[in-house]
Structure 1
Amino acid sequence: MLRRRHKKSREGCLECKRRHVKCDERRPTCLLCTMSHRDCSFASETKDKDPPATLGSSSSSSPSPVQVQTQALEIINLDHMQLLIHLISDSDILSLGDARESYHAGILLALRTGLQSPYLLYQLLAFSACHLQYLHPERSAHYLHQAMTLQTQAISLFNVEKVHVDRSNCASICLFSVVLGHHLFADTMSQREPEGLNAFLKRYTLCLETHRGILTVTMAAWPLLMETELAPVLLRSRSFTSQEGRGNDCNQIKNLVGGSAHLDDGEKKACTQAIRNLQVGFDALSTAGEENMRYQMLFLWNVLVPPEFTDLLAAKRPEGLIILAYYALLLHQGRHIWQVGGAGRYVLGMIEEDLDPGWDRWLQYPRERCGCGGS
């Protein structure tokens, strides 16, 4: 399958530069600022703050949301119909291996909601193209182009609307955030680049920042979302993620974090939260009564990790990388899921190569469970 090449962000927004995270450089508002509701501006913008043109436009003023929606809707074609049919008919796209019996109800809800919010429809089609790219590697370039184009249109529509969360659009924004998060998750896990761990961590920490935006959106709109059809799904997810871990898969890394002289109290707390969620994920894999949530932590872990833990990964701190190795084991358990594939062993292998041999004993458990033996 064709892989996107990693490019450094040289024209990123001022906010992303201040936070030392990779900006996707989308205008008028980049993806990270969109998802985290931060003010977004670029150094190249004029001093008089004229509104920037939308992506792909040569005009010096921004079109209205109605104009952008009209321009976008005019280019719908038979390729989009194929993506729509695929979205409706293939329950593997968003299921993460779970709860397939409710898939069609969820997709129909998303499509109905998207009629009022075209940015959601475009993101759904973009993710359908991403799945077809996986299924048909012989047409990878075609579907990759569709996925990138449709996602750009979705984000452009969302940005131009300057969406403020209220009762009328909270479901649309929540669904858009989740589908966008799944798309970035699939992209991140599929990449294989010669730069190894450094390139992966740059891409993955961007993914974590975006996923954290999903949590921000959901929590900010929680009372409103409880009045929508999404309420049962969200309550079930919250019940799952609020559990305490019962197994002992993570005991070794608990000891590592608890006894570390290199982590401050805030970093230890962030690591402990990440480890707790990992154990909930391992427990779900081994608990027959929770088969409909068995693999959900593969995605939700990225939503729930604290920003302090992301900082540890960005700095390649050994404790953070070892916890990430346990997440790689969780990924390996879901290797049959198309968004995941061989990402678990790939990430674990990069961590093994990067860490000093003195840390090897802390990697023994995920290495053995991934079938890597004592290598």
Structure 2
Amino acid sequence: MLRRSHKKSRRGCLECKRRHVKCDEGRPVCVLCTMSGRTCRYACESPQDNPSTPNTPKSGPNSTSSVPSISPLAIASVSNPSWATFPNAETQQSSPALDEPLNMNHMELLIHTTLDKDVFSLGSHDTNYLTNVTNGLRISLESSYLLHQVLAFSARHLAFLHPERADIYLYQAVSLQTRAVSLFNASWNGIDESNCVAMLLFSSILGHHILADTLAKRDAGGLDAFMIHFVHCLDIQKGVHTIARTAWPLLMESELENILSWSSQYTSRIPIGNHCQQVKELINKAEGLTEEENEACHEAIRYLQVGFDAVHAEKEEEYGNRFHMIPSWILLVPPALRGLFVAKRREALVLLAYYALLLHHGRYLWQIGDAGLFILCIVEDYLGTEWAHWLKYLREEVNKTLLV
């Protein structure tokens, strides 16, 4: 069998050379070694000089046996996709004021976090917002990665509120988020009761941040360009989900128990409505799907219907809100469906269009805006008229709102 050729990397790490794979030459740790948890060394380094050997999780009564040997979010700090999020963000010159441990720019972000309830809101009216934020900031004082991510998300919100200064705030958001992920990966040594809350808060806010960035994408290239960002968003959310799943027993004994129990019950609901009936029929008729892929599609449809049920519910709920499924669906997408998205399988794109309708219901939220309409349009353009039948219901629902 012929081996796939690749351009040799003369300055690649020793591990990639041993495996005969192309190294990206990233230092101190290359991408492939980070993803696979291998020790990354370069020819000019001694083992003592290289910090890349993954930490071994602590053992003890409060540790979990299934904790990965490297951070589930490690890849984010290496690839640093945030620089590609906004065209003008990387053109900002590095400012000494932004690189200091603490400065007035950070104070502005901190004050904004405490005063503006919309920063972390998904349309709910949180009467305990100040108390919750205060508790979160208290925890972040002991976990610098969490504090940096809180400030990054605050900067992201300010960029939305002040378009005339968006470049400045986006630069802050990218810088702080990059630093947050780096600090998180450097501190990763497993999850225990002392850090489980901070790690979940960090990963959740990071997930919301990446989702907001993804939904703001308007690159040239239509669906092909958007799907690159969307799949990357799914990969980040997988890391978030891994952290939550690993820490779940500990979190159920923390101050987050009430909201996490509600969220778990919410995503486990039996669907009521029939908004997704047509896409169910499409998946049932689809040819060439494996059993795993078929089940993944139906699982995603079930979550979507739970989301539509909440959107059309008459009353708001105690802990969550009617748009809770918007970030949750991205988090819960089965791995097999991710593969269908990568392949741009037509049936999976129709599923994405249904998610776009769910997004459109939340169009007044700052993280979402017109993302639902945009995604529906690029899916329609990609699939063409022969698939218009399967998208007709979605277009009619969106048009109803545009006429109001």
TM range (shorter): 0.7 to 0.9
The verdict on how the C-alpha distance between 1:224 and 1:256 changes in structure 2, with shifts beyond 3 A counting, is: same
Q: Give the corresponding residue for 2:243.
A: 217
1:105 Cα offset (Å) = 2.7
CA distance in 2, matches of 1:199, 1:267: 24
* 2:390 corresponds to: 362
- Choose which of 110, 131, 142 in structure 2 pairs with 1:116: 142
Q: Do residues 349 (structure 1) and 347 (structure 2) align?
A: no
Partner of 2:345: 317
Question: Secondary structure in 2 aligned to 1:101?
Answer: coil
Aligned partner (choices 285, 289, 306) of residue 263 of structure 1: 289
Deviation of the 1:191 alpha carbon? 1.3
Partner of 1:39: 37
- 1:355 deviates by 0.7
- In the TM superposition, 1:150-165 aligns within 5 A as 150-165=176-191
Deviation at 1:146, TM superposition (A): 0.4
8 Å Cα contact 2:192-2:250 kept in structure 1: yes
- Cα distance between partner residues in 2 of 1:370 and 1:28: 47
Could you tell me whether the CA contact under 8 Å between 2:109 and 2:151 is conserved in 1? yes
Q: What is the TM-score when the length of structure 1 is the normalising length? A: 0.83
The residue number in structure 1 matching 2:307 is: 281
Name the SS for the 1:244 alignment partner. Answer: coil
* Distance apart, 1:26 and its partner CA: 9.4
Distance 1:46 1:280 in 2: 56
Q: Is the 8 A contact 1:332 1:345 kept in 2?
A: yes
* Distance in 2 separating the partners of 1:181 and 1:336: 20
* 8 Å CA contact 2:12, 2:42 repeated in 1: no
What does the per-residue CA deviation read over 1:73-101, in whole Å, with 9 as the maximum and x for residues that have no partner?
A: 95210110000000011111111112422
Structure 2 unaligned spans of 5+ = 1-8, 53-76, 79-97
After superposition, residues 189-338 of structure 1 pair within 5 angstroms as 189-291=215-317, 292-338=320-366
Show CA shifts across 1:36-79 (max 9, x none).
xx6267797878664259x89xxxxxxxxxxxxxxx99521011
- 1:179 aligned residue: 205
User: What amino acid is the match of 1:137?
Assistant: P
What does residue 86 of structure 1 align with?
112
For 1:101, which of 124, 127, 130 is the aligned residue?
127
Distance 2:300 2:247 in 1: 24
Aligned partners of 1:98 and 1:296 also within 8 Å: no
Q: Secondary structure at the match of 1:248?
A: coil
226-235 or 330-339, which deviates more: 226-235
Structure 1, residues 142-166: CA drift from partner, whole Å, max 9, x if none? 1011001111111111111123100
- Counterpart secondary structure, 1:210: helix
Q: Which residue of 2 aligns with 1:4?
A: none
Q: Output the CA distance in 2 between the equivalents of 1:293 and 1:28.
A: 41
1:220/1:364 CA distance change after superposition, 3 Å:
same
Deviation at 1:121, TM superposition (A): 0.2
Partner residue, 1:68: none
- Note closer, same or farther for the CA distance 1:80–1:257 as it changes in structure 2 (3 Å cut): same
The residue type paired with residue 284 of structure 1 is A
**Following TM superposition, by how much is the alpha carbon of 1:288 offset from its aligned partner in structure 2, in angstroms?**
2.0
User: Which is worse superposed, 39-48 or 105-114?
Assistant: 39-48
Greater alpha carbon shift after TM alignment, 137-146 vs 258-267: 258-267
Q: Distance in 1 between matches of 2:184 and 2:213?
A: 21
Q: Helix, strand or coil: the match of 2:399?
A: coil
Query: Structure 1: which 4+ aligned runs deviate by more than 6 Å?
Result: 10-15, 40-47
Q: CA deviation at 1:311?
A: 0.9
The alpha-carbon distance between structure 1 residues 159 and 277, as it changes in their structure 2 partners (threshold 3 A), is: same
The alpha-carbon distance between structure 1 residues 211 and 41, as it changes in their structure 2 partners (threshold 3 A), is farther
Q: Residue 189 of structure 2 aligns to a residue in which SS?
A: coil
What is the root-mean-square deviation in Å for CA atoms of aligned residues? 3.1
Question: Do the aligned partners of 1:29 and 1:41 also contact (CA within 8 Å) in 2?
Answer: no
Q: Give the letter for the 1:140 counterpart.
A: A
Partners of 1:40 and 1:94 in 2: CA distance = 37
TM-score (norm 2): 0.77
Aligned residues: 337
Partners of 1:330 and 1:283 in 2: CA distance: 10
* 1:51 alignment partner in structure 2: 50
Larger radius of gyration: 2
2:284 aligned partner, one-letter code: G
In structure 2, C-alpha distance between the alignment counterparts of 1:12 and 1:181, rounded to whole Å: 32
1:149-205 deviation digits (Å, cap 9, x = unpaired): 111111111111123100100000000000000100110011111111111101011
Alpha-carbon spacing, 1:342–1:105, altered in 2? closer, same or farther (3 Å): same
Residue identity in the other structure for 2:192: D
Question: Which runs of 5 or more residues in structure 1 are unaligned?
Answer: 1-9, 57-71
Q: CA deviation at 1:228?
A: 1.0
The one of 193, 196, 214 equivalent to 1:188 is 214
Of structures 1 and 2, the one scoring higher in RCO (CA 8 A, sep 6+) is 1
Rounded Cα–Cα distance in structure 2 between residues aligned with 1:74 and 1:142: 16
Deviation sequence 1:293-316 (CA, Å, 0-9, x none):
200111100000101111111110
SS at match of 2:219: coil
- 2:335 partner amino acid: P
Three-state SS of the structure 2 residue aligned to 1:184 is helix
CA separation in 1, counterparts of 2:375 and 2:27? 28
AA at the equivalent of 1:39:
G
CA deviation vs aligned residue, 1:299-350 (integer Å, no higher than 9, x gap): 1000001011111111100010000000000000000000000000100000
User: Taking every aligned residue pair, what percent have the same amino acid on both sides?
Assistant: 44
